[in-house]
Amino acid sequence: MKSYYWVFPFLLLHINLLKADTSTDESLDANLLLLKTGIGYMVPFPEKCSEILSDYADYASNFTKCSILHARPIRICKNCIEHYMSFHDKYHELLTTVVNGTSCKSVFISRDRLDAILEYHDNIMGIWEKGHCNACYDWKTGQPVLSNETIHFNELFNQTIDCIMKYIVPSSNDSKVVCDNCMQSYIKLDNYYKTLSADAIGVDSICMDIVDSMNTTRSIWSKTLNCCKVRRTPEVVFLVSTGIISLLPILYYLVLRYCSPMRDLPNVLKQSRFKQSILRSLGRSN
């Protein structure tokens, strides 16, 4: 019996410790913690904010998936516009919603150095802006509608690709048939594209779906089909005839100089001082 007395001091000590866990000391600590870290640890987020955040995450992942799936060939602007709009609007809602005096923005954005929510937002906006996707659309009504330029370009692009598909013979690498038949569509497409932007590459302001379609078409046209070679023939003819024509005056004087007697020179030549001086020098060297 006596041997158990030594336990009591420990029991008392232990009870004291347990008491300390729920004492005023602890609630003071909790208040300090609350002040330091803000809500989320001790107090749950406003339910409305959590719902918005959850939707925001869904829209962000839907857009991300869409943009990855339509990255090659680029059709992000055309195919992901709805996801983009939802995402954009939801972010706006996240920034502006205030529940019982607590704004969702103050709860979720810029609370720490990682700032993941904002970071994802900036990444998605970065993709969208880098692709100049807004330029594909007409925003006059407030809602995005494919602009007339985009629609017209797509028609010309569609015609050119359809034409190439129609005339190409995969087994042969003689592309003359394709080049001849599709030259009209291609030139029309290329010229229309050039009207869309001040600079010929068009990366400055044209919607990326269009830039990429044109880039691919140009690459198919000049590299895969090698159609520029065919096109060069008229240029060579043009250059040669220009050369001959520009040589004609010299030829004319040479003929005069060697093939006709000086006294038979036509009177017309004597009309200007310049021509007279030429005549004189010709006569002198004779």
Ligand X SMILES: *[C@@H]1O[C@H](CO)[C@@H](O)[C@H](O)[C@H]1NC(C)=O
Q: Which residues here bind ligand X, judged by CB under 6 A?
A: 46, 58-59, 62, 86, 99-100, 138, 148, 158, 161-162, 173-174, 201, 203, 211-212, 215, 219
Tell me how far apart the alpha carbons of residues 145 and 158 are, in angstroms, rounded to a whole number: 20
Q: How far is the CB of 188 from ligand X (least distance, A)?
A: 15
Contacts of 254 (CB under 8 A, 6+ apart): none
Which residue has tokens 């919603």? 97
Q: How far is the CB of 181 from ligand X (least distance, A)?
A: 16
Q: By C-beta, is 3 or 173 nearer to ligand X?
A: 173
DSSP 220: I
Q: By C-beta, is 28 or 57 nearer to ligand X?
A: 57
Q: By C-beta, is 103 or 278 nearer to ligand X?
A: 103
Containing 231, the helix (H) or strand (E) segment is helix 227-259
Q: How far is the CB of 116 from ligand X (least distance, A)?
A: 19
Q: Give Cα 145 distance to the centre of its chain.
A: 18
Tell me how far apart the alpha carbons of residues 48 and 27 are, in angstroms, rounded to a whole number: 28
Containing 247, the helix (H) or strand (E) segment is helix 227-259
Nearest CA to 70 among 257, 267, 213?
Answer: 213
Q: How far is the CB of 82 from ligand X (least distance, A)?
A: 8
Structure tokens that stand for 245 in this block: 């024509």
Q: By C-beta, is 115 or 149 nearer to ligand X?
A: 149
Angle of CA points 66, 72, 76, to nearest 5°: 40
Q: By C-beta, is 95 or 256 nearer to ligand X?
A: 95
Tell me how far apart the alpha carbons of residues 104 and 53 are, in angstroms, rounded to a whole number: 9
Q: How far is the CB of 242 from ligand X (least distance, A)?
A: 31
Q: By C-beta, is 226 or 265 nearer to ligand X?
A: 226
Judge whether 86 and 62 are in contact, CB under 8 Å. Answer: yes
Tell me how far apart the alpha carbons of residues 157 and 88 are, in angstroms, rounded to a whole number: 30
Structure tokens that stand for 231 in this block: 């096109």
Instruction: Classify 162 in phi/psi space as left (phi over 0), alpha (psi -120 to 50) or beta.
Output: alpha
Q: By C-beta, is 152 or 280 nearer to ligand X?
A: 152
Q: How far is the CB of 44 from ligand X (least distance, A)?
A: 10
Give the type of residue at 123. N
Q: How far is the CB of 164 from ligand X (least distance, A)?
A: 9
Q: By C-beta, is 15 or 203 nearer to ligand X?
A: 203
Q: How far is the CB of 112 from ligand X (least distance, A)?
A: 24
